[in-house]
């Protein structure tokens, strides 16, 4: 198939060939966020790139220039093409980030526990600026890519209810209020931990509980994960 986009032609080739992905070993819980795109149960954090936010000033200038052009004119078509190219560049950078990151997690672990987020509901309830950042993160696309690659590699992605994962102590199970400005979870039991990593460990525990009950992972694997919290550095750059 031949496709034209922003004055560029692309040849699209379909093949029956399939690239095998080798899954990793071990279990991990993932908390998705805006400040940290990912914080996981092993202590790894990856900052949100927020590609739209970074190119927003350039996009606004291009859009303002478009609105000033006369409708139907060659200058307006040129200005519209510039806006479209900026959007395309943002989307390409985001897709590249999501593909590489999802690949890294699949090749590092065989069981990945993530939040089952209602992104549409979240984006409608939050204020505009937070809504834009939520959509910029593309958590839903990341989850879809993760599940797609997991199926290819024979790995498992387990979605859990995110309710109270931030408010619950990952050590003793106590629940306390956690305002968004409070970045460290401090519990009376002595647990003091980054709020997102604390949430990731709760997601992992909940996911492994589901996995054990459904025989997705062995009980020995669950036990080993419960006593192991050594941080593992991923190869993503």
Residue 38 has φ and ψ, to the nearest 5°, of -135, 135
Q: Are 173 and 208 in contact (CB under 8 A)?
A: no
Task: Judge whether 196 counts as a catalytic residue.
Answer: yes
Among residues 31, 110, 136, 225, the one annotated as catalytic is 31
Among residues 104, 115, 136, 225, the one annotated as catalytic is 115
Residue 189 has φ and ψ, to the nearest 5°, of -75, -10
Q: How far apart are CA 121 and CA 171, in angstroms?
A: 30
Distance (Å) of CA 10 to CA 3, 7, 59, 77, 85:
5, 10, 24, 21, 15
Name 124's Cβ contacts closer than 8 Å, sequence gap at least 6.
131
Among residues 40, 104, 196, 225, the one annotated as catalytic is 196
The catalytic site residues sit at 31, 115, 196
């Amino acid at each position: 198939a031949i496709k034209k986009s922003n004055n560029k032609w692309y040849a699209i080739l379909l093949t029956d060939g399939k690239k095998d992905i080798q899954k990793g070993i071990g279990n991990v819980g993932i908390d998705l966020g805006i400040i940290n795109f990912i914080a996981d149960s092993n202590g790894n954090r990856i900052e949100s790139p927020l590609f739209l936010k970074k190119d927003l000033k350039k996009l606004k200038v291009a859009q303002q220039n478009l609105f000033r052009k006369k409708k139907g004119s060659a200058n307006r078509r040129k200005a519209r093409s510039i806006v479209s190219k900026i959007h395309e560049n943002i989307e390409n950078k985001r897709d590249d980030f999501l593909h590489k990151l999802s690949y890294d997690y699949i090749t590092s672990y065989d069981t990945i526990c993530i939040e089952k987020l209602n992104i549409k509901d979240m984006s409608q309830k939050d204020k505009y600026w937070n809504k834009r950042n939520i959509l910029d993160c593309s958590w839903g696309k990341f989850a879809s890519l993760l599940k797609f690659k997991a199926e290819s590699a024979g790995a498992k992605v387990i979605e859990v209810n995110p309710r109270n994962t931030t408010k619950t102590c990952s050590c003793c199970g106590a629940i306390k209020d956690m305002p968004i400005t409070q970045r460290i979870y401090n519990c009376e039991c002595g647990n003091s931990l980054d709020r997102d990593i604390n949430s990731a460990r709760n997601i992992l525990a909940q996911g492994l509980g589901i996995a054990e009950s459904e025989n997705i992972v062995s009980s020995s694997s669950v036990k080993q994960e419960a006593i192991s919290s050594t941080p593992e550095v991923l190869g993503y750059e």
